[in-house]
Amino acid sequence: MQILSPLLFLCLVILTPVYGKDPALPSVTLTDVKTVYETGSHSAFTDMTWFKGKIYLAFRSCPDGHMVHPTSTIIILASTNGEDWERVYRFGIKGRDTRDPHFVVFGNDLFVYTGTWYCGELRPKERNMNQMLGFGVKTSDGNKWSLPFELKGTYGHYVWRGATANEYVYLCARRRRGFKEIPSLQNHDELVESRLLRSRDGVSFQDIGHFQLEYGDETSFQFTENGSIQAVSRQGGNRNAQLISLTKPYNDPKVIDLGRYIGGPLLFYFDEHILVAGRNIRDGKAYTNVSVLQNNNLYDLVDLPSSGDCSYPGMVVLCPGCILVSWYSSHLKSQDGRSKTAIFSAKINIR
């Protein structure tokens, strides 16, 4: 885990953001764009990590499409160089839609966590967040994987990205405030809060704090040297994303509006750069973008080949000055003109 210095963290939280472009940005080139996985199924929601000498890439694939379906599965690929991939594991959860896999390296094990919607034998007309449940799988060598196991303490929560610090696993998990039951999803967004969960074993989790008390959504976060948290959070209802800082006991978030919508955000530290990636909207059209965060300002670096249904990037350091990035997008077309949602990778060279 890369740690942000306390001085840089302080600079991040005291300045006001301005959306724009700055000529004094790092030089960035995008190379080696590849289609990693495309089978005709809806394949989406990526994450990547290094583990014991290999790069692992996880994503969801579903023959029935983007929405909630019990036919969805999580696919895990492995590579030694970021170019040649082999499938090492695939799993689903019976009667549940399985999506948004995220890696956490904890102790000697690699965990993959996933949020799941309840479907049952007959898919409900209304999705009920109060029936959500986190699941995980793990491996100690990348070859032999556990069967899926429930994440205790996550019923009614949708688990998302994680991080480790001080011998604990932490997860972002959103839930409906007070687990309130509502007759429709019309006023759902404002009732959702984004929580911080913690586990000592990677299996049993406790609620210890929060990122957002309303319009809570996907959150990517990292720990600083002094135990503080820096996070980038999407907001429900297509509101602007937020830059959030938390100090112990993680119940008083300091929030800055980032001036733009970001879907499926990723916060990634690379050398002296703080990168933010995810789905942006420009002229009413969606695309996946990588920006740099400087003094709480987001500055665009590069757009990834993408459009429509896209985002959820993953990143790993591949070489000095080079990042491997994964994402999904529906910009490819089949012979009959229909969109194909596939998994992509590329190298981002930063100087």
Task: Please report, as a single letter, which amino acid is at residue 166.
Answer: N
What count of residues does the chain have?
351
Pairwise CA distance, residues 114 & 217, whole Å: 15
The CA distances from residue 4 to 45, 223, 228, 257, 272, in Å, are 26, 7, 9, 21, 9
Pairwise CA distance, residues 274 & 292, whole Å: 6
* Structural contact between residues 304 and 30, judged by C-beta atoms closer than 8 angstroms: yes
Q: What phi and psi values does residue 13 have, to the nearest 5 degrees?
A: -100, -5
Q: Of 127, 116, 211, 214, nearest to 172 (Cα)?
A: 211
Q: Of 351, 347, 280, 292, nearest to 316 (Cα)?
A: 347
Tokens (6 digits) for 102: 């995220």
Q: Of 274, 345, 285, 348, nearest to 312 (Cα)?
A: 345
Task: Please report, as a single letter, which amino acid is at residue 109.
Answer: D
Over its length of 351 residues, how does the chain's per-residue pLDDT go in tens digits?
444 444 444 344 333 344 445 558 999 999 999 999 999 899 999 999 999 999 999 999 999 999 999 999 999 999 999 999 999 999 999 999 999 999 999 999 999 999 999 998 766 777 899 999 999 999 999 999 999 999 999 999 999 999 999 999 999 999 999 999 998 888 899 999 999 999 999 999 999 999 999 999 999 999 998 999 999 999 999 999 999 999 999 999 999 999 999 999 999 999 999 999 999 999 999 999 999 999 999 999 999 999 999 999 999 999 999 999 999 999 998 888 888 999 999 999 998
Beta-strand runs (E) in 213-262: 219-223, 229-233, 242-246, 254-257
Q: Of 274, 281, 348, 218, nearest to 17 (Cα)?
A: 274
Pairwise CA distance, residues 320 & 350, whole Å: 9
Q: Of 204, 192, 187, 201, nearest to 233 (Cα)?
A: 192
Element (H, E) at 9: helix 6-14
Task: Please report, as a single letter, which amino acid is at residue 191.
Answer: L
Tokens (6 digits) for 161: 């990205």
pTM for the predicted model, two decimal places: 0.92
Which single residue is written with the structure tokens 């809060």? 193
